Structure 1
Amino acid sequence: MRRWISCIAVSLSLLSGTAIAADQSTHEAADRWVQIIDQGDFAKSWKEADAGFQANVSELQWTQTLQQIHAQTGKMLKREFKTEDIKSDLPGAPAGKYKIVVYQTAFEKAPQVKETVVLTETKDGSWKVTGYFLQ
């Protein structure tokens, strides 16, 4: 009986470790992607986004939009992770596995911005950005 309980405890700790690692990888993917935007490499952010994102907005439209936003907000000063949520469906998006990462961000000209990055799980198990919103 003790051996069986020990096996369950070990299995649960391994499973929870896997879940934590998966959450860290999506959070890290979101962090890396917004850092590309912070560096001003708007074209690269488009290229590293999900195919669904790329189908909805051209690279030129994306870079022009981010240039306008950057002119209004200025340089990113501070970004603080707030929440991460898991969804299986989103309005206007196909069914799938999504993670929504929310930051509280301060920019030079906009000190209180809610920054939301939506990621989707790809066929190979990696996470790519499929949405980006500022409020």
Structure 2
Amino acid sequence: MKHLFAIAMSVCMLLPSLAWSESTTHVDKAKSSTTTWLAITDSLEYASSWEQTAELFQKAVPKQNWQSQLEKTRLPLGAVKSREFKVAETARVLPGVPEGQYVVLQYETQFEKSPKMIETVTSTLDGDGTWKVVGYYIKQAK
């Protein structure tokens, strides 16, 4: 009985570290894919940035709408001067999207013609097993 209890306790003690490890891996992969996606967006390749988004995003936002929205919001800001990663959070449930695996990343970004901005990029584990952007939001930093 003592051995069974010891085994059960060992397993219980390992579960949080396994969950943390999975979460860390998800954040690392999502962050890597987001960095690539932001570089495409920064180079004004808006159609290509849409093509690199998750299927869920593509179904919700037509390519033309995405291009025109980025032209209205990003072009006036000018080129990116600096971007600093701030925080990442994992989630299974977010408003307005089906339950899934999500990582919400925030960056503090300085553009050429604007005050500091906060970019929030949400990535999801897409149907093809890769992390892809499913949301992008930009606002002035406080």
TM value normalised by structure 1: 0.83
Number of the residue aligned with 2:50: 46
In structure 2, what is the Cα distance between the partners aligned to 1:18 and 1:70?
Answer: 34
Cα drift, residue 23 of structure 1? 2.5
CA distance in 1, matches of 2:137, 2:21: 30
Instruction: Kindly indicate whether the alpha-carbon contact (under 8 Å) linking 2:90 and 2:103 is maintained by their aligned counterparts in 1.
Output: yes
| Counterpart pick for 1:56 among 60, 66, 70 | 60
Q: Find the counterpart in structure 1 of residue 129 from structure 2.
A: 125
Structure 2 residue runs without a partner (length 5+)? 1-10
Count of residues paired in the alignment: 128
Q: Show the counterpart of 1:71.
A: 75
Report the AA paired with residue 40 of structure 2.
I
Aligned to 1:30: 34
Instruction: Specify the alignment match of 1:80 in structure 2.
Output: 84
- Decide whether the 8 Å contact of 2:27 with 2:90 is kept in 1: no
Q: Which amino acid aligns with 2:56?
A: G
Identity of aligned residues (%): 33
Please name the residue that 1:5 is paired with. none
> In the TM superposition, what whole-angstrom CA distance separates every residue of 1:84-117 from its partner, at most 9, and x where no partner exists?
0001111111111110010000001222100000
Deviation string 1:30-86 (CA, Å, 9 cap, x unpaired) is 111011010110000000101111111111111111111123211111000000000
Mapped partners of 1:58, 1:20: distance in 2: 32
Q: Does 1:98 align with 2:102?
A: yes
Runs of 4+ in 1 over 6 A off after TM superposition: none
CA distance in 2, matches of 1:18, 1:86: 10
Amino acid at match of 1:64: S
Distance 2:127 2:43 in 1: 29
